[in-house]
Chain A
Amino acid sequence: MRDRTVRTRPAAALALLTAAAAVLGGGGPSGAAPATGQAARQATAPQAVQQEQQEQAEPCDIYTSVPPSTQDGPAVKAIKAKRSLVIGVDQNSYRWGARNPNTGQIEGFDIDLARAIGAAVIGDPDKVVLKPVATADRVDAIKGGRVDLIVRTMTINCDRMKDVAFSKPYFNISQRVLVPKASTAKGIDDAIKDRTVCAAKGSTASTVLAAKNTARQVVTVENHLDCLVLMQLGKIDATMTDDGLAASQAAQDQTVRVVDGEVQPEVIGVAMLKTSPDLTARVNQVLADYYAGGAWRLSYEHWLKPYMLNEADHYWPVPH
């Protein structure tokens, strides 16, 4: 019975996706600049350049994953047998996955998705074990079998695709720059040229800053939030980080703003073992349902909308 209803959803989801893609391809409402496909190429020149660079650097297709399915393969059966699904999450990214110190619960956009996956795969959201995983430890946690899945703003790229399997992407992300509200910077280049700019160690942002090489000084820190501390203390002029984390910083400090423009568009997805395609297919099914059923949008509106620059549609990845 349950399977039947689920199986009818992909069609609906596909229809919706196509419709959304059509709208987006047409330029999007309210003049927003979607980061994907054609639309991004129509955007400002530096962005287009970035987009092309990225495409050259990515010989693989980050939008490719196994087709959605509700079949229980060996991996899904094993998870059902042990009656628990261990999902690696973040507990430091405000509004994405963060521990609320007053309730002790981890909450956020990624956590909603993790629980939805858990509920769909083993039928009980309480059987989901949320396990905090460090950024640098994500791939090892999967390969070592310490977690079944990673839902933790994990960027899909070709390097990582060699090590782990990704679901279809569930969010568009790009690099943004935060400045104090008092700053007069108009765009990204303006905001970082000859300034002291902060980025997290090993992040995409630090790579982008190194490639641009226009900042006076790049300060790298352990965690992106350390940049906000330094900005509040007046030790840096700007911070580059992805829009999810930029949103989370803006949410924590009313006196900083995200400047217009974005670079290095990427997508994020759910990661898991390469040897369990049935689990990947199952997660893809959940993602399709999650989006089609409106839960993705609801979660976006609850956690992220107040702090993001664009409407929800801008962030749902559409293959090009």
Chain B
Amino acid sequence: MPAPRPPAARPAPRGLRGRLARATRTAPGRLRLAGAVLAVLTVAFGGLTAWQLETRAQAAERVVSYSQPLSQAAADIHRSLADADTTAATGFLLAGAEPKGVRDRYEQDLAKAAKLIADAAARTTATSPAQGSLTRLNQQLPVYSGLVESARADNRQGIPLGGAYLRYASEQMQTVLLPAAAELSATENGELANDYAAAKSVPWAAYGLAVITLGALLWVQLTLFRRTNRVFNPGLLGATAAVLAGGLWLTVTGLTASAALKQSDREGATPLRALNTARVDVLTARLAENLNFVARGSTGKYADQWTKATDHLSGDAPKDAPADRQAGSLPEALRLAPPQARSAVDDARAQYGVWYDRHGAARKLEIDAADYQGALDATVTATDAPTTADSAFNATDQALAQAAVVEQQRFQAAAKDVDTDLRAAAGAAAVLGLVAAAAALRGLGRRLAEYR
């Protein structure tokens, strides 16, 4: 391409710099160079934007179809196990009169936990920290159910050893299984937070390159305008429009996706976490209430456990304090609940109040009147009487379950289309980048043709 020159006049051109210097000495050379730079910039803009949006789309997809479901599954494992333990104690207290519904609930809890554990294990890679918790859960669940069956068999024969077995089983649940489930929950919540962060992170590099590309396009056009006095170069204008469109698409999608993800977090994932905590606390309190009867007054341990669980649940602030001032997981769940779920959580809180009062009345019967059977009947009956503490507990639990369904729906509604939107924007950015490159080359090609 360069014209041959006497080597003595100038040192031989060496490397890229020399070639560049020679290329830019002539007007066509400069035009060619500008064309190459613009083509590279626009294609790079398209590619980088597409890539950055694609990684965010993948993160958003993981949030929706992987980490949030896994985090919720971990919470469900935790809750199912706690529910199984509580229900086993209820069935135990009713002994031979145990209604089919109670037995079914226990079995469903175990089946659900086992299924969720298997699902979670299948979706977890071998190196994930969740693997250890899952292994422990897998090993200990059959051990636990064996202990509960021993307790049941002994109880049906009327021997007190059954109670000791049940307390031992519950101890295993509370010291081995539930901590493993809590650990799993923590791991999955961490993954969810990571994926959320990745999906919401701003694609600064794409924005930066968009600005640089636009700047380069404008500079070339300005220079051409000064040299040729032609105001418009249609090719370069088209390239600018394409890059602008790409940048705009990137901005709009980036902002809406981030807003949608934030909403899914605010109305779904975060309130669900608070709700899960409250639900486990409710089950822990109910378990303590049951075990106190199983222990038949031989220890004050379970009364203390009830106090601890209810303190954690509703705080020790006076009950008439405004809801937003109260500490505890239940007021917290109410505070964080989206408007659609608020009535259900509020209902749960009211039912919990009823339950708390009934528990107090039963406790009074047991302690002050020494009426164990009366206290037991006021707490749980085989006929599912609506005036027992157990029925108020069930109402609390159901209201919370209802709120959980609403919050899961809010999460889905907010987050479900984010990844497809991001992916569409990624595709568009790639296409627009190519279009811009083609248009820029064409526009400069016209100018270049004038030199032939």
Seen from chain A, the residues whose Cβ lies within 8 Å of a Cβ on chain B are 86, 90-94, 98-102, 104, 129-137, 222-223, 225-226, 228-230, 232, 248-249, 251-253
Contact = CB atoms under 8 A, between A and B. Distances in A.
Contact of B372 (A132, A222, A226, A248): A132
Nearest to A224: B164
A93 B391 CA distance: 31
Please provide the 3 A-B residue pairs with the shortest distance between their CB atoms, ordered closest to farther. Answer: A131-B370, A132-B297, A225-B164
Given A98-B160, A228-B161, A229-B161, A90 B298 contact: yes
Contact of B370 (A130, A137, A226): A130
B300 A252 contact: no
Given A92-B163, A104-B376, A225-B161, 11 more contacts: A86-B370, A91-B372, A92-B160, A101-B158, A134-B299, A134-B300, A136-B299, A222-B299, A223-B167, A223-B299, A249-B161
Contacts of B297: 91-92, 132-134
A252 B296 contact: no
Contact residues of B: prevailing secondary structure:
helix
Given A132-B372, A133-B297, A93 B95 contact: no
Nearest to B96: A102
Nearest to A132: B297
Nearest to A222: B299
A249 B161 CA distance: 8
Contacts of A94: 159-161
Contact of B164 (A104, A135, A229): A229
11 contacts: A92-B163, A92-B298, A99-B372, A104-B376, A132-B296, A134-B300, A222-B167, A222-B301, A223-B298, A226-B164, A230-B168
Interface residues of B, number: 26
Interface string B284-318: 00000000000111111100000000000000000
A72 to B, nearest CB: 24
B187 to A, nearest CB: 30
A229 B163 CA distance: 10
B164 A228 contact: yes
B388 interface: no
Contact of A101 (B95, B165, B168, B299): B95
Contacts of A222: 167, 298-299, 301
A66 to B, nearest CB: 27
A225 B160 CA distance: 8
Contacts of A86: 370
B293 to A, nearest CB: 10
B260 to A, nearest CB: 53
B149 interface: no
